[in-house]
């Protein structure tokens, strides 16, 4: 009889899984020829993921619940519904990514989320136009300026505006119910950098909450409401585009925006105006609302301008 | 004219999003009445997720690529394919969760992943049975013992065995191709805690790699192969069930198991035996393989026994 033992000696530094070195074991497995940025990203993901698991110490059932949640979230995604973006939004990740990519010089208008309801072909209006085509809600006059960080007016700057109507829906969510292009318009700043338009005071509305993310929010004791806001994208040649909101100061959800889009610098002073003569002048019922907003544009960063405009984040 | 300004003062500690305090802002939003464990889990997830984003500083396009990856992974999941478990497995998370939940006293046999191919109703065999019903591969005789941590035999312990065939597939993956219940069997330890059976030497095989996780592995410079192993679940009243593998020492993927299932303590000494008389005795062609394996069971932890057995993790 001839018995030949087969045995094995470790050849690499982290060949086998151990709890203490778990992230290092996984990351040591990546190929040296893999794309350096992918290696960097995956190494960070694995490191922080393992740190989270070690802090949480999930039971097997909890791990399985997490797998099921991710699976349900994936199954909820269609061409018209992006539940993972909703998850990213409600956990503050979208806002963090937006903030990291849009650090501005002091004084320049801050960015916030683009949201899923932007469409690029809003009607082009002269200053003063009323974009509220359904006439719902409380009337508002919005006046403002666009300047650079030295206070010099940016003549010809484009102000692309959109918002939800008084029922809490954007036109694209209610095709056939709202007039097409309701509450959308593209305005141009004049030679002094000034613009103005008429609209309806925005109100809060819920993000879609009938999926796994809505259920999670509910379990976490959170509501799905976005603080009331006007959306604006302000662009001008040579300047960084600003994708931003103007928030009303009196919204009950201002401090609890479901997607963390509120920045203190983006809360405007809205004035409630009781003046029948001026209301008549604007074609408004009295009383009405008035807000003034000054945009400050930062100089363009090379290569950054196009990107922000053509990739829609959804919230 | 009467203009009434509406303004707002912060009422809570973290009302608005800021880069520095981003995770605290998000976590402060959870309701005080939410389930305490859910609060703890979500707070840790948000903290580590934001730390990862701050380390990675993803561009908007990279963030969108991550959203797309998660969406594709969700869409790949069906009743028969769990791509998120595959993701968990290949990033070492499944193994970490298994390890955290199965810390054993020194000397007790270690756990490893259950895998997706366990089925609970394997044929009940007498010691010595050959579970290789397709006759493929190199024959092996497996002999072993089951004892407690004091070395006392555990008579009547059940040893539930399953493995892939020499083509790298489990019977359930090849219904109609392999005989039903090929390479599965339930054995019982005798009064001295001994058991033995005949089978085929296991070989490596790939995890499903035609989905988003397989593509990611490929980009990371990793292969999808699992190191060759026999699966075993060993149970006995009063002891913690052991869900484990026995690994062959000569597998080319031993140090690179795609799901990190290998633990050093689970690599056995396989002997290659050239002995025509003994081969004949076992009904084998000569030469054949032989392995001896001693299981050591830890005392049962209250409540833990049932859980491990009835929730299948898949890898």
DSSP A122-177: PPB--TT-B--SS--S-EEEEEEEEEETTS-B-TT-EEEEE---TTS--GGGSBTT
CB A101, CB B101: distance < 8 Å? no
Residues in B touching A49 (Cβ below 8 Å): 48, 52, 91, 93
At residue B12, the pLDDT reads: 74
Chain B residue with CA closest to A67: the answer is B84
- Is the peptide bond between A297 and the residue preceding it cis, with omega within 30 degrees of 0? no
- Same-domain check for residues B151 and B283: yes
Whether residue B67 is contained in a domain is answered as no
The rounded distance, in Å, linking the Cα atoms of A308 and A111 is 10
pLDDT, average across residues B183-208: 97
At residue A298, the pLDDT reads: 96
Chain B residue with CA closest to A263: the answer is B16
ipTM of the modeled complex? 0.91
CB B297, CB B104: distance < 8 Å? no
Name the average pLDDT for chain A. 93
At residue A301, the pLDDT reads: 81
pLDDT, average across residues A119-131: 96
Which residue of A66, A92, A99 to mutate against B (max B Cβ within 10 Å)? A92
At residue B305, the pLDDT reads: 45
Instruction: Say yes or no to pLDDT of B294 above 50.
Output: yes
B308: confidence class by pLDDT, cuts 50, 70, 90: very low
**Residue B48 and residue A45: Cβ atoms within 8 Å?**
no
At residue B4, the pLDDT reads: 82
What is the nearest CA distance from B248 to chain A, expressed in angstroms? 9
Q: Which two tokens stand for residue B93?
A: 């998370």
Chain B residue with CA closest to A221: the answer is B31
Lowest mean pLDDT among A3-12, B33-42, B198-207: A3-12
At residue B282, the pLDDT reads: 97
Residue from A109, A106, A148, A125 nearest A236 by CA: A148
Whether residue B68 is contained in a domain is answered as no
Instruction: Say yes or no to pLDDT of B274 above 70.
Output: yes
Question: Residues 6 or more apart from B122 whose CB is under 8 A from it?
Answer: B160, B161, B162, B181, B184, B185, B186
The rounded distance, in Å, linking the Cα atoms of B32 and A221 is 7
A313: confidence class by pLDDT, cuts 50, 70, 90: very low
Instruction: Say yes or no to pLDDT of A79 above 90.
Output: no
Name the average pLDDT for chain B. 93
Instruction: Say yes or no to pLDDT of B73 above 60.
Output: yes
pLDDT, average across residues B229-237: 98
**Residue A269 and residue B49: Cβ atoms within 8 Å?**
no
A255 closest CB neighbour out of B12, B270, B290: B12
Q: Which two tokens stand for residue A203?
A: 């109100």
- Distance from the first to the final alpha carbon of chain A: 73
A4 closest CB neighbour out of B18, B48, B271: B271
The rounded distance, in Å, linking the Cα atoms of A29 and B227 is 14
Provide the 10 A C-beta neighbour count for residue A124.
12
Q: What is the pLDDT of residues B147-192, one digit of tens each?
A: 999 999 999 999 999 999 999 999 999 999 999 999 999 999 999 9
Which residue of B201, B220, B244, B252 to mutate against A (max A Cβ within 10 Å)? B220
Whether residue A139 is contained in a domain is answered as yes
At residue A303, the pLDDT reads: 60
**Residue B82 and residue A67: Cβ atoms within 8 Å?**
yes
- Same-domain check for residues A35 and A151: no
Q: What is the pLDDT of residues A237-286, one digit of tens each?
A: 999 999 999 999 999 999 999 999 999 999 999 999 999 999 999 999 99
Domain with residue A266: its CATH number is: 2.60.130.10
- Same-domain check for residues B160 and B233: yes
Residue from A258, A215, A208, A207 nearest A69 by CA: A215
B79: confidence class by pLDDT, cuts 50, 70, 90: confident
H/E element, A244: strand A242-247
What are the Cα distances from residue B44, in Å, to A54, A58, B307? 10, 11, 24
Residue from A296, A284, A243, A290 nearest A105 by CA: A296
**Residue A15 and residue B255: Cβ atoms within 8 Å?**
yes
- Same-domain check for residues A32 and A176: no
Whether residue A79 is contained in a domain is answered as no
- Same-domain check for residues A53 and A104: no
Residues in A touching B100 (Cβ below 8 Å): 19, 53-54, 57-58
A73 closest CB neighbour out of B1, B50, B74: B74
Which residue of A15, A71, A259 to mutate against B (max B Cβ within 10 Å)? A71
At residue A1, the pLDDT reads: 64
Whether residue A249 is contained in a domain is answered as yes
At residue A12, the pLDDT reads: 73
**Residue A53 and residue B100: Cβ atoms within 8 Å?**
yes
Residues in A touching B29 (Cβ below 8 Å): 220, 222, 256
At residue A190, the pLDDT reads: 98
What is the nearest CA distance from B215 to chain A, expressed in angstroms? 13
- Same-domain check for residues B40 and B95: no
Q: How many domains does chain B divide into?
A: 2
Whether residue B71 is contained in a domain is answered as no
Instruction: Say yes or no to pLDDT of B288 above 70.
Output: yes
- Same-domain check for residues A241 and A97: yes
What are the Cα distances from residue B205, in Å, to B66, B209, B229? 28, 11, 10
At residue A287, the pLDDT reads: 97
Chain A residue with CA closest to B99: the answer is A19
Residues in B touching A15 (Cβ below 8 Å): 254-256, 262
Whether residue B72 is contained in a domain is answered as no
pLDDT, average across residues A1-29: 85
Q: State percent of chain B over pLDDT 70.
A: 94
Please tell me what DSSP assigns to residue B130. Answer: B
Instruction: Say yes or no to pLDDT of A101 above 60.
Output: yes
Q: What is the pLDDT of residues B98-133, one digit of tens each?
A: 999 999 888 999 999 998 899 999 999 999 999 999
Whether residue A77 is contained in a domain is answered as no
- Same-domain check for residues B235 and B161: yes
Residues in A touching B215 (Cβ below 8 Å): none
pLDDT, average across residues B241-259: 96
- Same-domain check for residues B243 and B167: yes
**Residue B17 and residue A261: Cβ atoms within 8 Å?**
yes
Instruction: Say yes or no to pLDDT of B1 above 80.
Output: no
- Same-domain check for residues B89 and B53: no
Burial profile A240-261: b = 16 or more Cβ within 10 angstroms, e = fewer: bbbbbbbbbbebebbbbbbbbb
pLDDT, average across residues A7-13: 70
Rounded to two decimals, the pTM is 0.91
At residue A261, the pLDDT reads: 97
What is the nearest CA distance from B126 to chain A, expressed in angstroms? 26
- Same-domain check for residues B130 and B276: yes
pLDDT, average across residues A277-301: 96
Instruction: Say yes or no to pLDDT of A305 above 50.
Output: no
Question: Of B21, B40, B57, which marks where a domain is finished?
Answer: B57
- Same-domain check for residues A147 and A263: yes
Q: State percent of chain A over pLDDT 90.
A: 88
The rounded distance, in Å, linking the Cα atoms of B132 and B134 is 6
Residue A206: give the domain boundaries: 84-310
At residue A304, the pLDDT reads: 52
Which residue of A16, A21, A43, A270 to mutate against B (max B Cβ within 10 Å)? A16
């Amino acid at each position: 009889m001839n018995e030949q033992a087969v045995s094995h000696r470790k050849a690499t530094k982290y060949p086998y899984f151990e709890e203490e070195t778990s992230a290092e074991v996984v990351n040591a497995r990546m190929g040296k020829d893999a794309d350096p940025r992918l290696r960097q990203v995956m190494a960070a993901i694995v490191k922080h993921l393992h740190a989270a698991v070690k802090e949480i110490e999930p039971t097997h059932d909890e791990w399985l619940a997490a797998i099921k949640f991710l699976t349900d979230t994936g199954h909820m995604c269609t061409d018209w519904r992006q539940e993972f973006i909703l998850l990213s939004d409600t956990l503050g990740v979208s806002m963090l990514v937006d903030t990291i990519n849009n650090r501005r010089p002091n004084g320049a208008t801050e960015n916030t989320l683009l949201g899923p309801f932007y469409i690029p072909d809003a009607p082009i209006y002269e200053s003063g136009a009323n974009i509220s085509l359904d006439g719902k809600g409380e009337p508002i006059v919005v006046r403002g300026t666009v300047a650079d960080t030295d206070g010099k007016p940016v003549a010809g700057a484009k102000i692309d505006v959109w918002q939800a109507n008084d029922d809490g829906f954007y036109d694209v969510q209610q095709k056939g119910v709202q007039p097409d292009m309701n509450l959308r318009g593209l305005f141009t700043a004049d030679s002094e950098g000034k613009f103005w338009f008429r609209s309806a005071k925005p109100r809060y509305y819920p993000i879609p909450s009938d999926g796994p993310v809505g259920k999670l929010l509910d379990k976490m004791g959170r509501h799905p409401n976005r603080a009331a806001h006007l959306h604006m994208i302000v662009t001008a040649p040579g300047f960084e585009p600003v994708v931003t909101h103007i928030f009303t100061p009196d919204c009950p959800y201002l401090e609890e925006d479901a997607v963390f889009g509120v920045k203190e610098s983006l809360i405007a002073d809205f004035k409630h105006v009781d003046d029948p003569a001026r209301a008549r002048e604007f074609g408004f019922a009295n009383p009405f609302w008035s807000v003034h907003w000054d945009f400050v544009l930062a100089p363009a960063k090379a290569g950054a301008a196009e990107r922000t405009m053509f990739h829609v984040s959804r919230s």
